[in-house]
Chains A and B, each alone.
Chain A
Amino acid sequence: MEEWQPKILAILCNWCSYAGADLAGVSRMQYPPNVRVLRVPCSGRVDPLFIVKSLQSGFDALLVSG
């Protein structure tokens, strides 16, 4: 049995964290591939409903970063 892997959704601000995720790639920093990224224009765009929705969709964890 493989180790359980959480499914993570990252909602990232276009100007900082999304750029940071790009930079991580440019720098070839390796991290686990079980995260999916949703780009938003600002973390201020994140509606509480998004959090409920993402958990409903089966994600185990949510990262809002901005």
Chain B
Amino acid sequence: MSHKSSSVMVVGAGIAGIQAALDLAEMGLQVHLIEESASIGGRMPQLDKTFPTNDCSMCILAPKMSECARHPNIKIYIKSNISALEGEPGDFTVKVLQAAKYVDPVKCVACGICESKCPVKVDDEFDMGLRKRGAISRYFLQSIPSEYTIDPEKCLKLTKGVCGICEKVCPAQAINYQDTDQEISLKVGAVILATGIDAFDPIGFGHFGYKSYKNVVTSLEFERMLSASGPLGGHVVRAYDHKEPQSIAFIQCVGSRDESIDHNYCSSACCMFAIKEAMIAREHIKGLKASIFYMDIRAYGKDFDKYYEKAKFQYEVEFIKSKVAEISETDDGSLTLKYVLENGDIHYSDYDLVVLSIGLQPRANIVKLAQKLDIKLNEYGFCRSNAFTPLQTTREGIYVCGALNGPKDIPESVTTASGAVADAVKYLKLERQEITEDKDAEPEKDVKGERPRVGAFVCHCGINIAGVVDVKAVAESARNLPNVEHAEDLMYACSQDCMNTIKERIKEHNLNRIIVAACTPRTHEPLFRQTIAEAGLNPYLFEMANIRDQCSWAHMNEPELATQKAKDLVRMGIAKARKLTPLQRLPIDINPQALIIGGGLAGMTAAQSLAEAGFMTYLLEKEAELGGNMRNIFFNFGNDPQKLLAEKIEYVTNHELIEVHTNVDIENIDGFVGNYKTVIIDKDTKQKQEIEHGIVIVATGADEHVTTEYLYGESSRIVTQVEFEKMLHDQDFPKPKLKNVVMIQCVGSREEGKMYCSRVCCTKAVKNALNLKKKFPNVNIYIAYRDIRTYGFREKYYTELRDQGAMFVHYTPENKPQVTLADEWDPGSKVSVTVFDPIMDKEVVVDADLLVLATAIDARKENIDLAKMLKISLNTDGMFLEAHVKLRPVDFATEGVFVAGLAHNPKDMDESITQAKAAASRAMTYLNKKSVLAEGTITEVNESRCSGCGFCEEICAYNAIKIDPEKEIAVVNEALCKGCGACVASCRCAALNLRGFSNEQLFSVFESLDLNDIIGGD
């Protein structure tokens, strides 16, 4: 490669852009993050909750936004757009137009006085027009950056030369009406595009009455209505009469799967979105009737079907397979739905509120962007990419992630983002990084010998906490506790301006211990620790009190008792905070070699990415041959999987940085991030070899389900889709010529005990059926299905097959198709399939020449052993469980271990490729560092007390504590210690202490509660 640069550009700062920027920055690259709106964050801040865990969207995003904002390698440009791009990969020059903000970002303190005095009131885009904002405003409360900007089209001063109030009231003199647009020029090696999508605007759908009927809203508007920090404060009422609705209808596929508007694709996320909203709405409104009108429920992601089942049975959400023809308004503003059931019956039902599940579509400005960058769009107007190069645009050096090249949900967006990074590093200069001190941070203050000076900050979290708990009273009670120097309530403690406040107070009051009473430390502790570190305090001088998730949200109807509980939790936190001591994090060296377990498509792709970036990679395969499940895939809508497979095998076997070991088992994996040792053993020769490596990628694949249903195995005319694909490839069909072919979907999927969708089978059936039709145009194809899940652009093939006359028969698990053999003594017997057809409202019998079963994808049994060796988890289906289903989709909770491919969940080839690249990219964020820091909360040994009994060694699950044979006392391996404290509790000599959770610290918590006035009392 002739050109490489150490700078890179990411365009669009939604969750995909943020993830791409963070991965690149962690590799030591300089990132220019370009965002069109006034804040980073994208769509996620608008969402109330995320499926399938119902996590609060903003709460999981906020730490990532802050990390992005404070990363020394990331520069954020808001209100900016690309105006031109020149040059070649490795050496691009990009012109960026930064729109005038009219507010000096350095001076603005985000006090909000300007907006409160602004006479202009316009619809707020963030709250979907359900609230008004001023002409000077910030995008949302936790915006990053936090400063205000002026909307030049709405501002009276800028449009008419009158007003000027904001300039007069601004206490910081931050207003600058003379500000102008600036064009800057940046040199970068690669560009990653993550500009996202628009929501479909249903205004043109007159028959649904959007905007003409007040109580018809879009799913995005409804999301804001549900949000506790939204315009309704989470209290769902109708716009018509401000009454709480007692019934809500959700209409699916509005603007999706609709050829009449050239949207012949599935928006992929809306089914889950609607299920989530229906469930949350049921939580908000007791006894609410929630109905979802759908064509197919496409719950094809990981754990989505379990969520769907929960909605049906636990939340009693009603699912009606139908097509809504029309909505009309009644006198009281309620709505009458006219809908057609499968059998053609027309029904009418009344609902208080209707939510249109709007689809996703390309951004309005995508055509312009494509022209400027000279990249091509696909037939639907999304950015074009190929299934086998899913992260590349049509121009070398420009990559794509997020929903820009097709509808995606959050974890898919995050995965594509990391994946695009792995592609982009090809044109970037990677140099292994030392641990760097943050240049802007204050040097750490020595607090030894100082008496504790505690600062307590109590967060409102909008109304999430303050709506129930008397936040001011909690702050007041904290103020009177011993050693508390300062107590204060904050609107959003995690917002940029409040964190600045905390830093100022630390200086002002010379604080040396900080407690924040807010949400959960599980998401926000790292953020606040970093904040106090920036103010010169050791990050471990920090404690959190959880007064939201475990208080205000759990006791919404008992404000007084909740306030009392919050006071106690703060008191406990302060008691511990007083005893906190500074802790140090030790550096752990990182071995820059990678180990990949599994030589299928995912494993080989990850190996290729790592080797391309210059990292030595060991690729293990248990079978004698590379390729895994991909060896059985012959078609992919125009792409040739076998050609790709051959190329991959050729690449990995010939690359000098990849060492392939086939036909091996893993005997043992020992170690921790940066320092793993794995012993492999040749299956035949039994020869052992030890490999040292810094990270592990688990790409062990999955198995095809072996079914006993539908008489599989009893006739050669009953085959699986995998066998059928081979048949199509070999052109080896049962004779005489096929006349009737029946396919049955969901064989072994979506059933009790295996409640998950195998994701690829619908598309595979459609693909194979189309191929069969090409060969035998007159063959009759019958597909018995439960929901057709041809998500995204796969929808096109489904419609194509329908147009070619294939019959789709909907069956339910209670009424499965029945299969009998024509002649049970004939091993090649024809079969007869009986299935109830709801369209004709009667049973149909098909004499099939071939029955094709779409068998499920099963988790490998060996996963259990590997999970134990690597100390990682499996989900209830036996698939590997990632660290966070939304935002850390390829990481494990165990540092330095990553997952890709079918081992994670069923997925298609493009998705395995993407995830493999993502795993490689995440791995590179470690491999490209010379060392990383260990946790500070680990066990320490008081040598004078230790008797060397060895009880701790026996108990430690991580082999982190051992008795030194010479000194006969316990020694802790600080890199291995996970800080669980089991050894401490077991130590009979009280020789062990868990830093950050010492006996002294915890006893002080018990003592703080030794009061009779707590917890209501008797």
Q: Chain A residues in contact with chain B, CB under 8 A?
A: 2, 4-5, 7, 9, 14, 18-19, 21-34, 36-42, 44-50, 53-54, 56-59
- For B553-569 the 0/1 string (1 means CB < 8 A from A) is 11111100110110011
Q: Known: A4-B1018, A33-B561, A57-B1010. Contact between A26 and B549, CB under 8 A?
A: yes
Q: Known: A44-B981, A47-B985. Contact between A57 and B569, CB under 8 A?
A: no
Shortest Cβ-Cβ A-B pairs, 6 listed: A44-B982, A45-B981, A25-B549, A42-B980, A25-B553, A33-B561
In the complex formed, the residue of A with least CB distance to B1008 is: A57
Instruction: List 17 A–B pairs whose Cβ atoms lie within 8 Å, in order of A's numbering.
Output: A9-B1009, A14-B522, A22-B522, A22-B549, A24-B550, A25-B550, A25-B551, A33-B558, A36-B569, A39-B521, A42-B980, A44-B980, A45-B997, A47-B985, A47-B999, A57-B1010, A59-B1009
Distance between A56 CB and nearest chain B CB, rounded to angstroms: 8
The answer to whether A50 touches B1002 (Cβ under 8 A) is yes
The answer to whether B981 touches A40 (Cβ under 8 A) is yes
Which of B56, B565, B981, B1005 meets A41, CB within 8 Å? B981
B1 interfacial by beta-carbon distance below 8 Å:
no
Complex Cα spacing A4 to B994, Å: 37
Complex Cα spacing A9 to B1006, Å: 9
Residues of B within 8 A of A24 (CB): 549-550, 554
Complex Cα spacing A22 to B1002, Å: 21
In the complex formed, the residue of A with least CB distance to B560 is: A33
The answer to whether B1006 touches A54 (Cβ under 8 A) is yes
Q: Known: A22-B549, A37-B550, A40-B981. Contact between A58 and B1012, CB under 8 A?
A: yes
Which of A26, A37, A44, A50 meets B553, CB within 8 Å? A26
Residues of B within 8 A of A53 (CB): 1003, 1006
Q: Known: A14-B522, A45-B985. Contact between A36 and B565, CB under 8 A?
A: yes
Residues of B within 8 A of A49 (CB): 999
- For B713-755 the 0/1 string (1 means CB < 8 A from A) is 0000000000000000000000000000000000000000000
B937 interfacial by beta-carbon distance below 8 Å:
yes
In the complex formed, the residue of A with least CB distance to B981 is: A45
Distance between B1003 CB and nearest chain A CB, rounded to angstroms: 6
Complex Cα spacing A45 to B54, Å: 30
Residues of B within 8 A of A31 (CB): 554-555
Residues of A within 8 A of B565 (CB): 33-34, 36
Residues of A within 8 A of B978 (CB): 41
Q: Known: A45-B982, A45-B984, A57-B1010. Contact between A40 and B1015, CB under 8 A?
A: no
Residues of B within 8 A of A32 (CB): 555
The answer to whether A28 touches B1006 (Cβ under 8 A) is no
* B residues 520-570 in Cβ contact with A at 8 Å: 520-522, 546, 548-551, 553-558, 561-562, 564-565, 568-569
Residues of B within 8 A of A23 (CB): 53-54
Complex Cα spacing A30 to B551, Å: 10
Q: Known: A53-B1003, A53-B1006. Contact between A30 and B572, CB under 8 A?
A: no
The answer to whether B1015 touches A5 (Cβ under 8 A) is yes
Residues of A within 8 A of B549 (CB): 21-22, 24-26
Complex Cα spacing A60 to B1018, Å: 11
Residues of A within 8 A of B555 (CB): 30-33
Distance between A63 CB and nearest chain B CB, rounded to angstroms: 13
Residues of A within 8 A of B979 (CB): 41
Q: Known: A34-B561, A47-B985. Contact between A28 and B520, CB under 8 A?
A: no
Distance between B936 CB and nearest chain A CB, rounded to angstroms: 12
The answer to whether A34 touches B1016 (Cβ under 8 A) is yes
Complex Cα spacing A36 to B49, Å: 26
Complex Cα spacing A21 to B1011, Å: 25
Which of A22, A33, A57, A59 meets B520, CB within 8 Å? A22
B283 interfacial by beta-carbon distance below 8 Å:
yes
In the complex formed, the residue of A with least CB distance to B996 is: A41
The answer to whether B520 touches A38 (Cβ under 8 A) is no
Residues of A within 8 A of B53 (CB): 23
Given A38-B572, A45-B980, 16 additional A-B pairs, CB 8 A: A5-B1018, A7-B1014, A22-B549, A25-B548, A25-B549, A25-B550, A25-B554, A33-B558, A33-B561, A34-B565, A34-B1015, A34-B1016, A36-B569, A36-B1015, A42-B981, A59-B1009
Residues of A within 8 A of B1010 (CB): 56-58
The answer to whether A26 touches B985 (Cβ under 8 A) is no
Residues of B within 8 A of A4 (CB): 1018
